[in-house]
Structure 1
Amino acid sequence: MLNRALSWAFAHPRLTLVALGALSALGFPPIHLWPLAIIALGGAAILIRFAGSMRSALFRGWLFGLTHFIVTNLWIATAFTHQNQMPAAIGWAAVPLLSVYLALYPALAFMLAYRLARGRSTLVYALALGGCWIVAEYLRATLFTGYAWGPFSLALLGPFDRPGFAALLPFTGTYALSGLAVLLAVALADLALRREWLRVALVSILLLAGMYWPVGAGSEGMIDYTLVQPDFDQETLNDPRQYEPGFLTLAALSTRSDTQTDPRLVLWPEGVLPDYLREGYPQRYYAATTAGRDPVFARKRIARVIGDDSLLLTGTIDLEVEGDRAVAAYNVVTVVDGEGGIVGGYRKAHLVPYGEYLPLRSWLEPLGLSRLVAGSIDFWPGPGPKTIDLGRHGRAGMQICYEIIFSGQVVDRSDRPDYIVNPSIDGWFGPTGPPQHFAQARMRAIEEGLPVLRATTTGISGVIDARGVVRQHLGMSKQGRLDGKVPPTGSPTPFAILGNWLALVWAILLLGASLVVKRRRAH
């Protein structure tokens, strides 16, 4: 049976790679068939190793990447169903078009590994591919504003109560763990080809043990929180008739419980508050969306909800005004205290192209294209990661929505926070996007050694400790609140100190090892 399957695969490599690319994406949440991801990538790597030329290796790698990214990013098509100015069918075209570009990165990794290991052993090829994969994932997350969604190491994240092999992230970073996973996948595929089943079984047992090794309950923190998930879908958020009912829902979910006597953090998601909370804008903007047509009134009623000595961290919008009109907006987290004052804020720095701004607007807007977020003006980026000192409530780092997926870019390394707050709108993302989004927030917690408190409109919301263990969560399409204490801060990890330089060191080590093995076996 195995011989027949191998014969067919080598006789039809392109069709096989298309299938393997799609199967490898099933290793990501929510399906999370992680062994399938390793098997599929290992099989694809072997087929590409015998491509016969660099051009063929490049094309085969691109075919694998194309279907891998199409399946991984199917959630993007759902986002287009929430934009009335563009037909939903554009979303189904956007996913493969984006994947055509994203597939270039694994294709280049496969091609370079093929070139470095041509005529050499599988070990040389595996080491070279692992190193090239690290560089390729880093470049994908960096070039042209970056697209970091779906690193291969996402498949190695364990269930909610344990980190799995993602426990290695403090020592590798996301992209290096992906490269090591690729190395492992190629080694396992080679062992299977050589029928070394005992070694395959031993490695498989070790993989299972690593993925499901328990880590314990963890210690309790000191800062009280109330985290709210209102379950507002996109239609609710965009409907002015729902502004006041929406606030009443948020207020009901946020009132202090009988057991809460200490000061607390109240966390609301991105996009749930239509009010402009800052003063100084033309009055017509307050009249359109702000309670009482007055930002002071809007903040005072928030203060009455959260109570004295408490702070609200909520997603909202600030405006950039020139003269009597707004020329841009900022996606922000605003910190409101128990007296209705603004005591801090953060502007989102890593904006979503076509979501929060329209690149080449003067060219594309006449063609009928618009951004996915409602409105006619673009969002402008903030300066980058920022830590806000909240006094007795600790030092908060903030990342809004999509920003949390960017490994090495989520905290100010010169001013380390105690925890990261990650408000988000996940109603855009269909059934597959939110589990992947939440999983990538867990990876940032492990890398940085920091708890992450994630409040979303429709789920998944949760509190993640510094080991990536989910202490509490609310699933998709559920309304509710979480109360507890912010998990304690972990010690700075090697990744927290070095950032993605650590991943690039791993790339150099793997590529260097491949050259050493290549030279030794040549003599």
Structure 2
Amino acid sequence: MERLAGRIMLLWGFPRVVVAFLAGAIGALALPPFGFFAAFFISFTLLVWLMDGSTGNPDGGWFARFRSAFWIGWVFGFGYFVAGLWWLGNALLVEADEFAWALPLAVLGLPAYLALFYGLATAIARIFWSDGFGRMASLAFGFGLAEWLRGFVATGFPWNAVGYGAMPMPLMMQSAAVLGIFGVTVLAVFVFSAPALIGTKKGMRTGLTLAALLFAAHLGYGAYRLHIADAALAPAADSQPVVRIVQPVIDQARKLDDAERAAIFEEHLALSALPPENGGKRPDIIVWPETSVPFILTQNPDALTRIAEVLQDGQVLITGAVRSEDAGAGFAPRFYNSIYVIDSQGQIVSASDKLHLVPFGEYVPYEDLLRNLGIPDAIAMPGGFSAAPVRAMLTLPGGRIFYPLICYEAIFPDEIGPDVERASALLNITNDGWFGATPGPYQHFQQARIRAVENGLPLIRGANTGVSAVVDPFGRLIRGMDYNQKGVIDATLGSISISHWDVKAREQHFWLVLAGMLLIAGVSRVGFNFRTN
């Protein structure tokens, strides 16, 4: 290991860039659908050794000193995000004649932008870099801060944060209930980078022991929570509703065809009306995916009548639909990506609009500026939605409350506010059919599962095609349907977990863990300076 570490440190030029890129790309194997979390041990060990060889120019000022560290982090991040997000280009191929020009932006441009955060992480780590296990702490601090920033800078895109690679199964998801995804990321980076100490020896015993203890605590806490899970949930099981999720698997080309709208609507109704399997209890709540109603529902009273004809007395339909709103004389109407709750009388009893829209998918940022710059192709991209000013909870007949998350809103832990404490479940509807049979739908599903664990709530997830599921508050799959499986699933909704921390507490725990890593890194750096002077 010492010989290998030395060779990696001494790499220069193109070979150094290749190793940094491959190190990041290897890390993507820790993500769904692979879930090979050990890949991150290889990935971050190589990154530490590359950082050890990234000395910079001490006489060239701050920028020159840390440029080398930033560059290594950027190349590492570029490899990670290209390998983990290449599937985004599939969405542009649905209407390739119009949007194929943007394929390089999705496959290479977005990873290049996201890699800036990992470059920032390694540049920050370089400030506190030392020769012992303190450099693991500095890297953990840098990545924790960078991933947190990635969650909200420029509307945010915290997809595939490193911490997800440390949580491939429910046993390894439970730490999120205490630390949240960003807190788990901080500790994960420390643990994943610890094997680098074997190649450099300094601080090896202390660093590996601390990493082993953290990993054991991660597994031990997971085992404890899963041990108490069934006892905590069982008493309330009989009082929980049966939820039916409709996964219609409507091809994107059909969804865009006006002539198919009526047939698509009837397909959803036919699946909703299927009898329960094996004589089971009829569903109380039926869930359709995002924008599953292919027209403006409030402008089509016949559609509400058809829904009422299909729903049995007391049943409720929750569906994604586009909502229009009159903006006044002289102004075009506003459109919202929405969720409706419809009772068995065909009445809309609750609704919620999407708050966090997808840039260049549901709206065009800086649209006026782009138009003035003469970039009509960007303006012509799919969009036209308005964002809700606040998130409205969904109240069902009988008083049950769901916390709505439309599509990729589920990847933002900070999107879930303190009012989630009033909810009995998270509801995530989406249309992952844009991305085809790629890792995208599986990555999206895992991140939604972590939101359930963080908030101690069951998750209802309805997708046009995969992955639709009902998940309990501990991230365990109750029932689910894989990609491209058409049909329905009926499942009893799990009750609320009694052992989770609230939103505010998880934020505090993240900052405490981050501060702890900064303290270790700072003390190690001071000791390193003392020894070398």
Structure 1 CA distance for aligned equivalents of residues 480 and 456 of structure 2: 19
The one of 11, 31, 38 aligned to 2:34: 31
Structure 2 CA distance for aligned equivalents of residues 69 and 229 of structure 1: 29
Superposed, 1:341-380 pairs within 5 Å as 341-365=347-371, 366-370=374-378, 374=382, 378-380=384-386
Number of the residue aligned with 1:300? 305
Superposed, 1:98-113 pairs within 5 Å as 98-113=110-125
Deviations 1:19-50 (A, max 9, x none): 11111112111122211123212211221133
Query: Structure 1 residues 211, 84: CA separation in 2 closer, same or farther (over 3 Å shift)?
Result: farther
Q: Retained in 2: the 8 A contact 1:387–1:398?
A: yes
Q: Retained in 1: the 8 A contact 2:288–2:429?
A: yes
In the TM superposition, residue 496 of structure 1 has moved relative to its aligned partner by: 2.9
In the TM superposition, residue 405 of structure 1 has moved relative to its aligned partner by: 0.2
In the TM superposition, residue 58 of structure 1 has moved relative to its aligned partner by: 1.0
Q: Retained in 1: the 8 A contact 2:31–2:168?
A: no
Number of the residue aligned with 1:129? 139
In the TM superposition, residue 499 of structure 1 has moved relative to its aligned partner by: 4.7
Percent identity, aligned pairs only, is 27
Report whether the alignment pairs 1:165 with 2:172: yes
Structure 1 CA distance for aligned equivalents of residues 451 and 24 of structure 2: 26
In the TM superposition, residue 452 of structure 1 has moved relative to its aligned partner by: 0.9
In the TM superposition, residue 511 of structure 1 has moved relative to its aligned partner by: 0.8
Report whether the alignment pairs 1:406 with 2:417: no
Report whether the alignment pairs 1:337 with 2:340: no
Structure 2 CA distance for aligned equivalents of residues 311 and 471 of structure 1: 21
Q: Retained in 2: the 8 A contact 1:449–1:496?
A: no
Query: Structure 1 residues 241, 184: CA separation in 2 closer, same or farther (over 3 Å shift)?
Result: same
The one of 76, 79, 102 aligned to 2:91: 79
Query: Structure 1 residues 277, 105: CA separation in 2 closer, same or farther (over 3 Å shift)?
Result: same
Query: Structure 1 residues 212, 13: CA separation in 2 closer, same or farther (over 3 Å shift)?
Result: farther
Query: Structure 1 residues 372, 33: CA separation in 2 closer, same or farther (over 3 Å shift)?
Result: farther
The one of 400, 411, 415 aligned to 1:394: 400
Query: Structure 1 residues 194, 143: CA separation in 2 closer, same or farther (over 3 Å shift)?
Result: same
Structure 2 CA distance for aligned equivalents of residues 181 and 339 of structure 1: 51
Number of the residue aligned with 2:63? none
Number of the residue aligned with 1:151? 161
Superposed, 1:299-318 pairs within 5 Å as 299-318=304-323
In the TM superposition, residue 302 of structure 1 has moved relative to its aligned partner by: 0.9
Report whether the alignment pairs 1:68 with 2:115: no
| Mean CA deviation greater in 395-404 or 19-28 | 19-28
| Mean CA deviation greater in 7-16 or 177-186 | 7-16
In the TM superposition, residue 337 of structure 1 has moved relative to its aligned partner by: 0.6
The DSSP-based 3-state class of the residue aligned with 1:300 is helix
Query: Structure 1 residues 263, 67: CA separation in 2 closer, same or farther (over 3 Å shift)?
Result: closer
Structure 2 CA distance for aligned equivalents of residues 91 and 514 of structure 1: 41
Deviations 1:468-517 (A, max 9, x none): 11111100011011102111111362243435343223212211232244
Query: Structure 1 residues 149, 384: CA separation in 2 closer, same or farther (over 3 Å shift)?
Result: farther
Number of the residue aligned with 1:190? 197
Q: Retained in 1: the 8 A contact 2:8–2:50?
A: no
Query: Structure 1 residues 83, 326: CA separation in 2 closer, same or farther (over 3 Å shift)?
Result: farther
The DSSP-based 3-state class of the residue aligned with 1:51 is coil
The one of 55, 62, 66 aligned to 1:52: 55
Deviations 1:102-138 (A, max 9, x none): 1111111111111112xx3322211122122111101
Deviations 1:322-351 (A, max 9, x none): 338643210000111110111101110000
Q: Which amino acid aligns with 1:301?
A: R
Q: Retained in 1: the 8 A contact 2:321–2:340?
A: yes
The DSSP-based 3-state class of the residue aligned with 1:26 is helix
Q: Which amino acid aligns with 2:426?
A: I
Number of the residue aligned with 1:468? 475
Structure 1 CA distance for aligned equivalents of residues 255 and 269 of structure 2: 16
The one of 478, 503, 506 aligned to 2:513: 506
Deviations 1:342-376 (A, max 9, x none): 110111000000000012223435423246874xx
Structure 1 CA distance for aligned equivalents of residues 179 and 93 of structure 2: 38
In the TM superposition, residue 96 of structure 1 has moved relative to its aligned partner by: 1.4
The DSSP-based 3-state class of the residue aligned with 1:86 is helix
In the TM superposition, residue 209 of structure 1 has moved relative to its aligned partner by: 6.2
Q: Which amino acid aligns with 1:266?
A: I
In the TM superposition, residue 94 of structure 1 has moved relative to its aligned partner by: 2.9
The one of 2, 20, 26 aligned to 2:23: 20
In the TM superposition, residue 177 of structure 1 has moved relative to its aligned partner by: 0.7
Please list every run of 5 or more consecutive structure 1 residues that lacks an aligned counterpart in the other structure. Answer: 279-285, 287-294
Q: Which amino acid aligns with 2:463?
A: T
Q: Which amino acid aligns with 2:23?
A: L
The DSSP-based 3-state class of the residue aligned with 2:490 is strand
Q: Retained in 1: the 8 A contact 2:283–2:490?
A: no
Deviations 1:119-159 (A, max 9, x none): x3322211122122111101011111111111001111233
Q: Retained in 1: the 8 A contact 2:33–2:443?
A: yes
In the TM superposition, residue 192 of structure 1 has moved relative to its aligned partner by: 4.7
Q: Which amino acid aligns with 1:20?
A: A
Q: TM-score under structure 1 normalisation?
A: 0.88
The CA RMSD measured in Å over matched residues stands at 2.9
Number of the residue aligned with 2:59? none
Report whether the alignment pairs 1:7 with 2:15: no
Number of the residue aligned with 2:522? 515
